[in-house]
Structure 1
Amino acid sequence: MNDNYLGSVIKQMEYYKSLGEKAMSQLSDEHFVIKLNDESNSIGTIVKHIWGNMMSRWTDFLTADGEKEWREREAEFDNDLSTSADIMRHWEEGWKCFLDALNSLGSQDLDRIIYIRNEGHTVMEAINRQLAHYPYHVGQIVFLAKLLAKDPWQSLSIPRGGTKAFNVEKFNQEKRRKHFTDEN
Structure 2
Amino acid sequence: MEIAQNYLDSIRFEFERYKTMGDATFAQLDDSDILWRYNDLDNSISQIVKHLSGNMLSRWTNFLTEDGEKPWRHRDTEFEDPFTTKAAMIAAWEKGWQCLFEALSLVNPDNFDTVIKIRNEDHTLVAAFNRQLAHYAGHVGQIVLMGKMIKGEKWVSLSIPKGQSEAFNTKKFNK
Q: Shorter-normalised TM-score: what interval?
A: over 0.9
Q: Is the 8 A contact 2:50 2:82 kept in 1?
A: no
1:104-134 deviation per Cα after TM superposition (whole angstroms, max 9, x unaligned): 2102322211001110001111001011010
Q: Residues of 1 paired with 2:6 and 2:15: CA distance?
A: 14
Q: Residues of 1 paired with 2:44 and 2:23: CA distance?
A: 15
Question: Which moved further from structure 2: 95-104 or 57-66?
Answer: 95-104
Tell whether 2:37 aligns with 1:4. no
Other-structure match for 1:100: 102
Any residues of structure 2 matched to 1:37-56 within 5 Å, and which?
A: 37-56=39-58
Any residues of structure 2 matched to 1:9-24 within 5 Å, and which?
A: 9-24=11-26
1:151 is displaced (CA, Å) by 3.5
TM-score if structure 2 supplies the norm length?
Answer: 0.94
Q: Is the 8 A contact 1:33 1:79 kept in 2?
A: no
Other-structure match for 1:176: none
Other-structure match for 1:148: 150
SS of residue paired to 2:32: helix
Other-structure match for 1:181: none
AA in 2 matched with 1:13: F
1:120-169 deviation per Cα after TM superposition (whole angstroms, max 9, x unaligned): 00111100101101011000000000011253211100011210011223
Other-structure match for 1:128: 130
Give unpaired runs (5+ residues) of structure 2: none
Count of residues in Structure 1 that have an aligned counterpart in Structure 2? 173
SS of residue paired to 1:121: strand
AA in 1 matched with 2:127: E
1:68-102 deviation per Cα after TM superposition (whole angstroms, max 9, x unaligned): 00001010011431111110010000000001111
Q: Residues of 1 paired with 2:112 and 2:127: CA distance?
A: 8
Q: Is the 8 A contact 1:42 1:79 kept in 2?
A: no
Other-structure match for 1:85: 87
Q: Residues of 1 paired with 2:91 and 2:119: CA distance?
A: 27
Other-structure match for 2:140: 138
Identity of aligned residues (%): 49
TM-score if structure 1 supplies the norm length?
Answer: 0.90
SS of residue paired to 1:110: coil
1:36 is displaced (CA, Å) by 1.4
Other-structure match for 2:63: 61
After superposition, the CA RMSD in angstroms is 1.2
AA in 2 matched with 1:148: I
Tell whether 2:108 aligns with 1:112. no
